[in-house]
Amino acid sequence: MVHLEKITPRDFEDVTELNIFESQYPFVADNTESLAEAYLAVMSGEAYAYPFAVYDDETLVGFLMIGYNEAALEGPDAPASLKDNYSLWRLMIDKRYQKKGFGREAVRLALEFVKTWPHGEAEYCVTSYNPENEVAKKLYASFGFAENGEMDEDEIVAVRKLRDEAEQEKELPTVFELEDSSKAEALFAGTEDPMILSCLQGVLDGKVYVTDPEAPRSAMAFLAEFAYFAGEPDRELAAFKPEGYVGMVPPNDAWAALIEECWPDADKVTRYFIRKDTRFDREKLEAIVAALPKDYELRRIDGELYDALLESEDFGDNVCHFASKEQYLALGRGFAVLKDGEPVSVASSYIVYRGGIDIQIDTEEAYRRKGLATVAGAALILSCLDDGLYPSWDAANLNSVHLAEKLGYELSHEYPCYWLDKLLDRVIPNPDKSGWDALCGRWERQTEDRKVFEVLRKGEDLYVKFMNRKGEPLELKLFPVGANSFGFLWADDEIVFADGGMTVNGEPCKKL
């Protein structure tokens, strides 16, 4: 069990010898330096420090330091939020024990300690992190820390309210990456999904997340962009989002309802599960490959073609879920149809598992409906059959279903998938909305087109209305990603309010 212990002469030297990865040096202070600052805080008589060793049972895994009134030590340039408030001053987990949930558990324990009010009640707990430290930002945000616009030298300041009774009562999240995936096998018993199998088998960089690492009753298997759930519906797992685009796949209606509750802005789509017991007609597949028009070339993906596909806007997703080119060439496989030496249709292993692959097929728009995807797919299936591998297929749409049927597959059933945008990784939880009404109104872009954007508030949310390039009206919800900046789902656009003005993707707008 993870717990905190006050640092004593017995473990002082061990704490100073804890280490991190070299790439983390810009983000984390040296423990010896931190302990020296704790001494200075105590000697000042105005600031206070509580240095703790983080233990997992009897094993020292990290260092944590909680502060109070840290502003007294930093002087007049200290962020105002540090005055008479608690702070998560330092946190580090030794490189040998990272990615095991110890950092998250240490934050939870730190907040529990702060709420014992060792120096009386305070309004906030404060922390700060390097702007490039996305891991720290996401960790603290998951506990309700929100950036408040302050900087502590070159670090971003984030605060969490302590006096909000509802927030105090809210159970803090505890999601762990399962080190031994076999502990979750029973939860996924009977699965035929290659993504889940790959996670459980540890073939690629799949991960299994749980809320109880010793005896999990629920689990999330995550690989590439897909998260699959199993076991008892668990709110913490449903609310946990890995970084980037994520498609959440519920195993039943109870999980689906929980995902919808946790992610009301998710884009729900229908996907199609293809049967995994197909008996392929080799002669038919060989005839399909042989029918490739003469002005096209069929080529197996080698190192050179892999490099070209990885950099391609159309085909990067076909090969990008392997750790390296060497891993793809060793475990994966694929075929490309070339026109004048350039790939125009590609069938490749999206992921692999023991005994098979999951197929991904893409074709450039100008070359669709020419039978090229069918040729590439047939070649890949034949290659798998030659080597005793099963070529699994999962369809994102009906066009994919029809292509699969041409190659001999049969549809099993439909299932829901909830897509979460990567923007949600940056959204600030519990933002200060007191100034949002002043942002509302009609704004005219100061460019030749004089495009008008209308910002309006509906309940607790901001929206923007404008005409798209086709002249169609759009109304999109805005999500706070900074003190004065907003984004919206499934786009890279950003709206920033500053100095009485507004910019859209850097272009200035004037309020009408």
Query: Which residues make Cβ contacts (< 8 Å) with residue 336, sequence separation at least 6?
Result: 298, 299, 301, 305, 309, 315, 343, 345, 346, 347, 376
* pLDDT score of 167 more than 60: no
> Which residue type does 258 have?
L
Is it the case that residue 2 has pLDDT exceeding 90? no
Query: Which residue segments constitute the domains of the chain, with CATH numbers given?
Result: 2-169 (3.40.630.30), 176-268 (3.40.630.110), 282-409 (3.40.630.30), 431-511 (2.40.128.210)
Q: Count of CB atoms within 10 A of residue 5's CB?
A: 12
Determine the Cα–Cα distance for residues 175 and 236; give it in Å rounded to an integer: 7
What's residue 163's pLDDT? 67
CB-based contacts of 192, cutoff 8 Å, min separation 6: 276
The tens digit of pLDDT for each residue in 168-213 reads: 444 455 788 898 999 999 999 999 999 999 999 999 989 999 998 8
Query: What's this model's pTM, rounded to 2 decimal places?
Result: 0.68
| Close Cβ partners of 40 (under 8 Å, ≥ 6 residues apart) | 73
Could you tell me whether strands 146-152 and 485-487 are parallel, antiparallel, or unpaired per DSSP bridges? unpaired
Element (H, E) at 200: helix 194-201
Q: What is the pLDDT of residues 219-236, one digit of tens each?
A: 999 999 999 999 999 999
Distances from the Cα of 456 to the Cα of 335, 430, 436, 465, 475, angstroms: 50, 19, 9, 8, 10
Q: What percentage of the chain exceeds 90 in pLDDT?
A: 70
